[in-house]
Each structure stands twice: as C-alpha cells, then as structure tokens.
Structure 1
Amino acid sequence: MFATYFALLVLVVTHASAWLPEVQKHILALDGENLFERNETAPGNSKRWLPASGKVRGVNLGSLFVFEPWMATNEWSNMGCGSYTSEFDCVAALGQTQANSVFQTHWNTWITQGDIQQMQSYGLNTIRIPVGYWMMESLVYSDSEHFPQGGLQYLQRVCGWASDAGFYIIIDLHGAPGAQMAQNPDTGQSAPSPGFYADYQYDRATQFLSWLTTIIHSTNSMRNVGMIEIVNEPVQDSGAIGTLRSSYYPNAYSAIRNAESTAGVTSNNYLHVQTMNALWGAGDPNQYMSNQYFMAYDDHRYIKWDSAVAVSQSAYLSDSCHNNRNSDNENPTIVGEFSLSVPDNVQWTSGWAPTSQKNFYSQWFAAQVLNYEKDTNGWIFWSWKTQLGDYRWSYQGK
C-alpha cells in the first residue's frame, strides 16, 4: 500500500567509520524529479511524506530463513508443513532429505532479486534478515534437533543482491539455541519452555556469532552487512533470564570482536553489535558491558499489544506521534520491528478494516515513521511480504 506507485531511488553516501546509512543527499524519482518538491496529489499512496534525513528506512525479510507459519499458510502447506507448528516440527516429520528440498525451494523463491529491486525503487535503504543458529549446521544436535540445511548459500545470495543495490544489512539471531521464548515458532521451534538461558546454550550462540562474523568479513557478497543482533526478543521477565545480560551479552560482544581481530579487521570497520533496548523489558542491556564501542539497540513497537493505549484511531495516532522510542537514551537505536496491525478482536470491523480505513492507516504509518526518525536512527517495517492479503503486515502491499 505505502509504496505502490512511486519508484524512489535513494542515493546513500556511506561512511566506513560510522558503518550505518549516512546522509541521503537526494531522494529522487527514477526520472530525476525531486518528489519532495511536488505539490500535486499523488495517485494512490506513496512515501513522499518521508524527510530526506539519512535515516534507516527498511523492511524485515520475515519468514525467509525463520519461517513463521501465520504469515504464509499457503506456502507452509505447499511445503508439506501445514499440520506442523514450526520448522523444527516440520523437518522432524518430513525427514532431513525431503525437508532440505522443500526449504531450499522456499529460500529460492520467497525473496528474489526482483524483490530487492522493488525495495530499492520504493526508496528503502536497509534490510533486516532474521536467521536461526541452525544455519551453522555443525551446532545442531543431530540426534535431537531438526532444522533445514543449506541456508548459508541463500543468505549469501540475498546479501549479494542487497549489497549490489546499496542496501545496509542487519542480520538478526531470531532463533537462538534452545529457543529464547516458549511456544513461539518465530524461534524456529515451539519449545514448551525457553531453553536458551543456560551457559551451554549461550556458548553455542557465541560460536554461531563468531562463525557468522568471520563469514561476513571474508565474503564479498556480505560486504554491506553492518550489524548483527545477538538475540531477538528475549523473555521480558528479567528474573527468568538469569545471566543473559551478565554473561551472554558481554561474551557475545567479545566473540564478535575476537573474530574481527583474528580476521585483521580494523576498528573503523567493526560490525555494530545490537541488543534489544531497555524499553523491551529484559533489563538494561549495558549493565554488564565493559565495552560499548559500536553497540546498537533494537526497539520493537507493536501498539496492538500495548494495553496502555486505548483502542481508538485518535489514541493510536497520538501515541505514535508522541511516544519517545529512545527515552532510555541508548544510541544508536533503530525501531527494528513495527506494523500497522491492530487488536485481533477489532481488526476486521468496519472502523478498522483495511479496505475502508486506508486514510487512517496512511496517517498512522506516517505518524510512526516520522516519530521514529525524530527520536531514533530509523525504522524497519515487519515485514516485506506475507500471504495474508493485508497491507498492515506487508510493505509490499500484498
């Protein structure tokens, strides 16, 4: 919906020592016209309201390497996974050989080079790629864990397309060993309890981060990867996560830096190491960090699950205009996930239906991104595509 008609070309000037998207000197239409100086009403919906301020403006490649069945039930069913809740369950049921085949077909088709080109034409400059630890296949316990194999070559390929198109790339450890949240397929498994919060699982995650860092710095197709998120959305009860902040965070940071040192990477080319911010609710990520050089922070904002905000269009617009998503003063912060979805019990009612309320959703999108750009280093929408037929979750609009 929000990027259907205007094809924007973003000319991004990058600076190695910052290793983030830098100042955009122009945002132009492909015909060379400056869209921000146009006064006429654009057909349909466009991205013209965004300021040319050099902020991160991106999309998540959701359900590419960590499949979330709710986003694409037809794809999931066609893969033979329809009766299973997660990648783990489907691979266990299909067997390794068949699972590898169907998942590799999915990786080959879910995000194509055409998708990357379309993102570029919409004026986006960043992609965030959720991955699971099982991409490092030697970490998987072959007798008890079940995940598809062969994903690395597809990750390198999509990063190559994105690098060629000038995108900044964030790779996010979305599925941690043992699962960082219970009964949540977006960890790759529907675990009965979060098993990540143990030293041996932390060790596996740091091995993964070291391995990934080495690949990033030695592979040309991954040259535009500038940030690794060391775990997505840990549980929000700080009492339940034990040593996540005191042990895993500093050890994960050190694993990345040690891999860079071994590879001869100079400090101005370090990766940003990203954690969820304090607003997420898992405690202060900096509390035990003796070194915060090239740290970064991730904020996720889904108002539909915030009971403190009244379920009304005016309340949603007001919160999105005024809620400071960097009130904890962690810099740089990026709003790494947000959407236009509203509570399940009202989302298809007449007052919230996407077909009849396009004006509201356009205003709400603008309110969110303008506020995120004011208070943080930018935003990344969840997600690029779904099979929901609902633009509230799909930047592509399908």
Structure 2
Amino acid sequence: MHLLCSFVFALASVRLALGSLPGKIYGVNLGSWLVLEAWMLPAEWEAMGGQSCADCTSCIATESAFATAYPNTVDEEFAKHWSTWFTQDHVNQLKAAGINTVRVPLGYWIVEALVDRPAEAYPRGGIKFLSQGLQWLRDADMRVILDHHALPGVQTPGQMFTGNCTSDVQFYTPYNYGRALTWTAVMTALSHIHPNFASVFALEAINEPIMDASMTPGYGTFQQNFVKTVRAMELLLGIPISGFTLDLPEPLSSLNLTSAFSMASASDKTGLFSAEVTQAIQSAIPILLGMEVDLGLSDILNLGLLQSHGGGWEPLTTNFMDINWQYDNPSNPASAAIGPQGYDNHLYYSSCLQGVADANPDAYMQSTCNLDRVQNDAALGNSPLWFGEWALPTQFNATDDFLFMWADAQKLAYSQGAGWLYWNFKVETSDAAGDLGRQWQRTFTRSYLEGLARGYLTQDPSAVHNPHVCDPYKTNSTGSSRK
C-alpha cells in the first residue's frame, strides 16, 4: 500500500512543472468525448440507438435521454464511445501539431454519487476513461482545463451540451449549487493527489450559463463559494494559499483529511469555510474514498503522505466565463478571486445568440480585426482572458480564401489575451454527418485536425498565413459588440 502511495504522491508533485498556465494557450476542446453532443457524430449516435430531431427535447438526443431509454445497455454503449472518440493517437496528432493545452468538457455525472437516481439517469464509468486520457496528456506534457460543462439541474435550456436537453432549468437553486460545489471539491482533490491529473492547471466552474443575469439568481454567491471550495480543499491538502492559514491544534502531517476538515471547519479563521463550502467538502470526502478502487489509489486521504511527497504543488487556477458573457447587471467573477484565476469567453459568429457582425465576409473581418474584448475584460479585472471556444462558422457560404483569412484574423485577435482553444479537436466523418468540416452554414464547428489537413489552420498554432491580414480592416472605432 505504501509503495503505491509513494508512487502516487511522487508523480503528483510534478504539478509545479506541468500543472501551470502556459505562456500562451494554443489548444483544442475534447468535445463530445465525456459529454456527448449527438450532432457532432450522427452516424455513431444512430448506431448506438440514439435519435436525431429538430427539437432535442423531443427525442433520444442526449446522454440523459439515452440512459433513460436504454438502462440495461447504456454503460456498455458509452464505454465503447469513450474508448474510441479520443485515443492515444489523437494525443500524438495534437502534440505533433503544437497543441499545448486541452479543455475537457465534463458532466456532473462523472462523479456518479452526485446523480439522483432513478429520477436522473446518465452513463456510468466515465471517471476511469478520464483518468486514462489525462495520463496520455500528462505524458505528452499538455496542460489541461477541467471544464464543468454540464451542471446538475441543467444551466442552459435547450442545449445538448448540458447532457439533458430541457426547458426546465434548475441549476440556479441552492440544492444544485451544492451538488456543483461537491463536484468541485472532488475534482480539486483529484487534481492534486492523482498522478494522472498532474497537468491539470485550471478548473472551470460552469460552461455557458444563461446570458441574461436576471435569470441566474444566486450565481454571484456560487462564484464566491466555488473559489472558496477550491482554496479550502487546497489548504486542507497542505497547499499554500497566500494570505490564508489553517489554525489547527495538530500539524497536518499527523492528520487525515477527515480529521483536518473537522478541526478546520469547526474553528475557521480563514473565512473560507462557509456553510455551503463546509457541506460540499463534507459530502466530497466519502465520495473520494469510494473512488479509490476505480482510480487505482490507496490511502488517498493520508495527509502525512501528502505532506512528505507533495511539496511544490501550486494552487489550481479557478476559471469562469468572463463578466461580459452575461448582461443585465451580472456579478463580476473577479470579485470572487483568491489566488490565480482565469476568464473564458466563447465567440461563434454564426450563433443566433452571439451574432456580432452582418452576414458577409467584410463585416466578419472588420469585427474580428477590431475586437477589443481582451481590453474590455481587463478593465473589469477579468484577466488573463482566453477564448475557450471558437471555430469558423459563418452565416453565409464562405469561400476557401475567406476561411484562410478569417482563421488568421481570429487567431491574431484571440492571441491578444492568454490564448485560445478551438472547438473541436474533431468531428465525425460520415455520410450522415455530411461534410461537417466544410459546410459552415450547417454546423457550429469543425475538426481542428481536419482544418490542419485542409490548410485553413497553420501547422504551427502560433503562426498565421498572413500577419497583415487585418491591415485593410482596421478602424479607429471599437470592434466589440454585445451579444
């Protein structure tokens, strides 16, 4: 047992070298892997037993609907999908292409104890595939953002990416905020104590909340508690947080996580252990113990071993969608920051929710080339900012020449901040999918790997075909526009 623990903690201590923000993010999303979006792989989805419909609430179009329809085979079918959609070969290709960061979309159900069965239904077993994939990425020296992409209760209506396409949005309630915080505590602990998670540098609180802030009550308080949950768990693991210390009657090295938490929460002088944070960590501890076998760990709550082998750890970067993602008096996530924090923005020109330019090539180029979101966010404390999702979707039939230009323009614009992550690393190639890689009027995304093959994207992600592509489109006015 102690040999295994020594192996675990010795590897986990490489966080100082691996689990930190790259100088500039050049990344991709691993979309439709552990949160499946059927529109990206229609042939595979149909073969699995899923359905396609114009309104995703009306058929078997999501993981939840699939698990409800096929309770006896869902785990087996999804295990096949998880083992083939993202593989070691994809890591090799991305590494060869210069990608240094990946964003991994996750559903809350990857922590299976959080699922309220039988009222909620999702596939089981994903955590082991996540661990294997993270090991590949760690070995390739690629940084990782763990993105809470699909929240308990659903954070946005009518979207496949929430895992349950529904108009009944229930995330913004105390109960589901609590489940999300427990998820956060579990993922924070794993990111520090599991060797396969060593290159995880950021934990994203929520993917794409409702844009109208008046419809997200309590979200600002959740932001505060999300950060406190991460930092409280890190302090309990012996990771230094500037300005915060635990006042314990015994050294951490003589305690386990359970006893340290009991003492710290009972006599809290840090201000981190709010009632919500205390409940989240209290709920997370037995979940972590229950994961020992599945994740090949042992004695994972022994703080003495953590103290002796875990020196050099850095705090995770907490991560939120930026303040400008929402409108109508949104809370500012910068006010929640304790320690390192990053901000995320997603920009799809073809989305009806995000239409930022008229539907013609000149308007797209002018908007992109004069984009000032990095500067506007920085003025509100939302820095560093990275663009966690973007692609080449258009509202018109774009030519190849335009796509070459626009790819360059977007990379130049997004590189003004901390960098970018393309959506997605791949899409299905099939008759059912059609030419998803090319027909932008039919889809929101494309394959980064296919974009390289077609030449729209450069083999060196830090390079562009034409560094002067924006010169004819620069104006003296701002290029930012509200969604």
Give the TM-score normalised by the residue count of structure 1: 0.82
Q: Does 1:65 align with 2:39?
A: no
SS in 2 for 1:335: strand
> Which protein shows a greater Rg?
2
Partners of 2:18 and 2:384 lie apart in 1 by: 14
Partners of 1:156 and 1:120 lie apart in 2 by: 19
> 1:370 deviation in Å?
1.1
Q: Does 1:87 align with 2:63?
A: yes
Preserved CA contact (<8 Å) 2:426 2:446? yes
Q: Does 1:286 align with 2:340?
A: no
1:384 corresponds, among 411, 421, 425, to 425
> 1:285 deviation in Å?
2.8
2:405 corresponds, among 355, 363, 366, to 363
Given residue 143 of structure 2, which amino acid in structure 1 is its aligned partner? Y
Deviations 1:214-251 (Å, cap 9, x if unpaired)?
11111111100000100000001111101111x21111
> 1:390 deviation in Å?
2.9
Q: Does 1:131 align with 2:106?
A: yes
1:8-27 mapped onto 2 (5 Å cutoff):
19-22=20-23
Q: Does 1:178 align with 2:147?
A: no
Deviations 1:365-392 (Å, cap 9, x if unpaired)?
1110111112x10000000111243335
Partners of 1:340 and 1:381 lie apart in 2 by: 9
Q: Does 1:316 align with 2:364?
A: yes
Corresponding position of 2:377: 328
Corresponding position of 1:36: none
Preserved CA contact (<8 Å) 2:345 2:389? yes
Given residue 199 of structure 1, which amino acid in structure 2 is its aligned partner? P
Structure with greater proportional helix content: 2
1:234-383 mapped onto 2 (5 Å cutoff):
234-245=209-220, 247-267=221-241, 269-281=314-326, 283-286=330-333, 288-289=335-336, 291-305=337-351, 306-326=354-374, 327-329=376-378, 330-343=382-395, 346=396, 349=397, 352=398, 357-374=399-416, 376-383=417-424
Q: CA RMSD in A?
A: 1.8
Corresponding position of 1:162: 137
Change (3 A) 1:229 1:123: same
Deviations 1:106-130 (Å, cap 9, x if unpaired)?
0000000000110011111110000
Deviations 1:228-280 (Å, cap 9, x if unpaired)?
100000001111101111x2111111111111112222346011010000121
Give the TM-score normalised by the residue count of structure 2: 0.68
> 1:16 deviation in Å?
5.4
> 1:295 deviation in Å?
1.2
Larger mean Cα displacement after TM superposition, 78-87 or 229-238: 78-87
Partners of 1:160 and 1:222 lie apart in 2 by: 7
> 1:192 deviation in Å?
2.1
Preserved CA contact (<8 Å) 2:350 2:393? yes
Larger mean Cα displacement after TM superposition, 165-174 or 315-324: 315-324
Aligned residues: 339
Preserved CA contact (<8 Å) 2:135 2:197? yes
Structure with greater proportional strand content: 1
Partners of 2:334 and 2:128 lie apart in 1 by: 37
Partners of 1:378 and 1:128 lie apart in 2 by: 12
Partners of 1:129 and 1:142 lie apart in 2 by: 25
Given residue 373 of structure 2, which amino acid in structure 1 is its aligned partner? R
Q: Does 1:118 align with 2:93?
A: yes
1:106 corresponds, among 81, 88, 100, to 81
Partners of 1:179 and 1:362 lie apart in 2 by: 37
